[in-house]
Chain A
Amino acid sequence: MGREAPQQTPPSPQHQQQQQVSFTVEQLVAVNPYNPDILPDLESYVNEQVSSQTYSLDANLCLLRLYQFEPERMSTQIVARILVKALMAMPAPDFSLCLFLIPERVQMEEQFKTLIVLSHYLETGRFSQFWDEASKNRHILEAVPGFEQAVQAYAVHVLSLTYQKVPRSVLAEAINLEGISLDKFLEHHVANSGWVLEKGHGKGQLIVLPRNEFNHPELKKSTDDGIPLDHVARIFPILG
């Protein structure tokens, strides 16, 4: 057989030329998921996500993948930012998804150890420990705007899965607010998210959280009651 040249280049990623036209980074990732050339774009996109308070898991995983393929190009500063953004995406498992791609020796660095501890507290519902630890590491977290709010949103999410009525003190601890700032937070949610404040039995306020199928199981639509169309379709010939 006519032997080809010993080394054939793999197919270059398609659509490369179109890249020059202004594509968003997400589109870049979609058409070039395995192209080392987009690494700098992805790095600046991480910074853009930080400053504009946006988030793209796919773009960040793509970048971590490129780092995995070419460890010498890895920027630990960028990795740290990706991890902070991933923490902010809780309850989604993004933080673990990122860790799966980051070599263990990198994870041993101090700043990453801290982030892993923070993630551990969030994963196990230990909010007061989380906020303690976070206050000791402001330099890592304050670099990313919106961090506190994102964690508060996660706390509210888990509390809403759990409680119909949550004691004010429990909420306060979870979102790390007290006094006037807590009142303001509550006011905002009463006005916008349907929260109701109620007097508790002698020991402080209760907050009635909005009903959902997880804290009010009777709301759960029983999907098991339904019959998939294709099952019904099987008896069409009989019915016809």
Chain B
Amino acid sequence: MAAYDYDEPSATHRPASSDAPSQEPGYDPNHVPDSVKSFVVHLYRHIREKNVYEIHQMYETSFQGISERLFKDTPWPSVDAVAHHVDNDHVFCLLYREMWFRHLYARLQPTLKQRIDSWDNYCSLFQVVLHGVVNMQLPNQWLWDMVDEFVYQFQSFCQYRAKMKNKTEQEIALLRQFDQAWNVYGVLNFLQALVEKSAIIQILEHEKEGLEQFTATDGYDYSGGSNVLKVLGYFSMVGLLRVHCLLGDYHTGLKCLQPIDITQQGVYTSVIGSHITTIYHYGFANLMLRRYVEAIREFNKILLYIYKTKQYHQKSPQYEQILKKNEQMYALLAISLSLCPQVKLVEETVNSQLREKYGEKMIRMQRYDDEAFAIYDELFSYACPKFITPSAPSFEEPLVNYNQICDAYRLQLKLFLYEVKQQQLLSGVRTFLKVYSSISLGNLAKYMEVDESKLRTILLTYKHKTHAVDTDGKTISNADVDFYMNDDWVYVVDSKPPKRYGDYFLRQIVKLEGAINDLDRIKLD
């Protein structure tokens, strides 16, 4: 439990004081330095000209650069101060404020008023996207960041609200007055509306039939249209997965993601943050649903991907976040593999990283004693999402030391550890099944030091826990070692890894073709 910090650590430094107003005394919201002026003027122009490449450069590089130089501990100039440089363009101002708040959240502590204003800005922005005519082409990175930040600010608000202990009367009055701000229905309905209005599910369906292009163009529209609604709708499916995971609703979360085929590359892999968020939550939900093989497979793939590509992200503002999620997913992989020791599913590089980080802990986890449970607890707490309680606490009794966030997290932890406890006898069975090809129930009971009827229940538990039910209601085996029984005998299934002739021949065919081509090029006189 110790490793679980109740405050979401941000990608960047965040000050500890909670009630201090974030504006620095020297900050003048109306002062617009030249570099900011030039930034907004150019960004505005590139957006009008639909120059995605330039927009992306300014968004990723210039914004970060200027923030680093001029706005390290202060907000950017207010939108009113820059509006006249951009023809008071309504949509541009909404976009500017979205970045303004994001920067504020990342570097300063937002006040309650600012949290509410940011919600208000998202409402206006999404309303325009949903109901207005938006004729822009924005980089996927930016559109992903919008959805990601929207969900993050919701989560952050729930955590802020849950801590009733040191709220001022003023704050409580504001919370009452603006009870719609970051309301869970509002958040979910915006994401859902973006999914529906964008018709993204149908677009992905059509794409499978070859009737439409989406993935092939990374979601961009090269025929003069806008990508904004479509791509926001697409990322909103990932946003829904995340919100549902934060609420402990893993089944519904996975259902929201279903239109995206995560066995393939897709728009979700075009932005590293989206790729990681998708797989982290997908894997976590599967872990909670006891579909360990699925969790292991996807964690393995993404961890390998991060391992191979992380050097390219070193300069990215998301780099720290990438590393953090990387570590968390290793912890989740360690848990999954401890409950379902299918090491053959894990790539060598990932495996050696895993052993380095958690090898010793994983050996102890196999013992299922109190110390082992403490490690399950520790890894889960370190790696789980920041669960939230979506309903408002009682404002009448704010003085009660009532921490909802703790409640939400504790419930998920408790249920998870309960599952681990139910599986605690299985590792003993595993050990014996690995060394016998057949054994009588009586003997196995003797070796395991239990009576026969107890052993029968352990064997049934093993079967039940290693055979998950997938979304279609089909039974799928997660068993690393399997067995069957005939009356009082246990027969262990020989699980030789199947030889992969197919891939071998495919590789050889390609090699041969290469050799023939080489030969063809050689002219013999």
Contact = CB atoms under 8 A, between A and B. Distances in A.
A140 interface: no
A165 B415 contact: no
A227 B501 CA distance: 9
Given A99-B415, A101-B248, A235-B506, A92 B469 contact: yes
B189 A231 contact: no
Nearest to A217: B493
Interface stretch (B12-20, B249-257, B360-368): B249-257
Interface string B401-421: 000000100111011001100
B487 A6 contact: no
Interface stretch (A7-15, A44-52, A189-197): A7-15
Contact of A71 (B93, B184, B391): B391
B407 A124 contact: no
B153 interface: no
B88 A10 contact: no
Contacts of A201: 487
B205 to A, nearest CB: 16
A122 to B, nearest CB: 8
A62 to B, nearest CB: 8
A7 B250 contact: no
B370 interface: no
B127 interface: yes
Q: Is the interface of B mostly helix, strand, loop or mixed?
A: helix
A34 B181 contact: no
Contacts of A92: 469, 473
Contacts of B488: 167
Contact of A214 (B116, B178, B477): B477
Contact of A69 (B80, B130, B184): B184
Contacts of A146: none
A13 B248 contact: no
A227 B509 CA distance: 14
Interface stretch (A17-25, A75-83, A156-164, A177-185): A156-164
A232 B507 CA distance: 10
Contacts of A113: none
Contacts of B124: 4, 8
B130 A4 contact: no
A104 B404 CA distance: 11
Contacts of A104: 407, 410-411, 414
A79 to B, nearest CB: 14
Contact of A91 (B459, B469, B500, B510): B469
A57 B249 CA distance: 12
A123 B464 contact: yes
Nearest to B181: A7
A70 interface: yes
Given A33-B192, A123-B461, A161-B467, A10 B123 contact: yes
A184 B484 CA distance: 27
Interface residues of A, number: 68
Contact of A227 (B467, B473, B493, B503): B503
A234 B457 CA distance: 49
A40 interface: no
Nearest to A14: B196
A127 B249 CA distance: 29
Contacts of B411: 100, 103-104
B130 A11 contact: yes
A235 B250 contact: no
B189 A10 contact: yes
A120 B422 contact: yes
B407 A125 contact: no
Contacts of B248: 100-101
Interface string B239-275: 0000000011111100100000000000000000000
B79 interface: yes
A1 B123 contact: no
B193 A14 contact: yes
A224 interface: yes
A70 B391 contact: yes
Contacts of A165: 486-487
B94 A226 contact: no
Interface centre among A62, A69, A200, A235 (most CB of B within 10 A): A69
A216 interface: yes
Interface string B452-470: 0000111111011101110
A2 B88 CA distance: 9
A11 B193 contact: yes
Contacts of A167: 487-488
A36 B186 CA distance: 11
Interface string B192-211: 11001000000000000000
Nearest to B460: A125
A216 B185 contact: no
B83 interface: yes
B152 to A, nearest CB: 18
Contacts of A61: 249, 251-252
Contacts of A58: 252, 255
B288 interface: yes
A53 interface: no
Given A6-B178, A103-B407, 10 more contacts: A1-B94, A10-B185, A14-B193, A34-B192, A35-B189, A97-B250, A124-B422, A158-B463, A214-B484, A225-B498
14 contacts: A1-B79, A1-B88, A6-B120, A11-B127, A97-B249, A125-B456, A125-B461, A125-B464, A159-B460, A163-B484, A164-B486, A167-B488, A214-B484, A217-B482
Sorted nearest first, the 3 A-B pairs with minimum C-beta distance are A125-B460, A10-B186, A1-B93
